[in-house]
Amino acid sequence: MGVGHVIFNIFSILGFVFPFAAAVFTAYVVTIVLKRMRERNEYLKDIRDELRKRNDTSN
């Protein structure tokens, strides 16, 4: 088996693994972004509730 066959086999394996790895990475990034958006939403809801509470007690 020559060097050309080895290199061809490596690129064949990478050609199969790369799309799978890219899909896994994309799913990971989407999961992280959605988690941070939910945390930010909860934080903003807490601020909203605190402001409403302060506004209600001042009236």
Question: Does some domain include residue 52?
Answer: yes
What would the pLDDT profile of 30-58 be if each residue is shown by its tens digit? 999 999 999 999 999 999 999 999 998 87
Domain count, the chain: 1
**What was the pLDDT predicted at 4?**
77
Domain that holds residue 58: 24-59
Question: Does some domain include residue 14?
Answer: no
| pTM for the model | 0.66
Cα within 13 Å of Cα(59), Cβ side: 6
Question: Does some domain include residue 8?
Answer: no
**What was the pLDDT predicted at 11?**
83
Question: Does some domain include residue 28?
Answer: yes
Question: Does some domain include residue 41?
Answer: yes
**DSSP-H helix ranges across the chain:** 3-58
**What was the pLDDT predicted at 1?**
56
What does the alpha-carbon distance between residue 43 and residue 8 come to, in Å, rounded to a whole number?
52
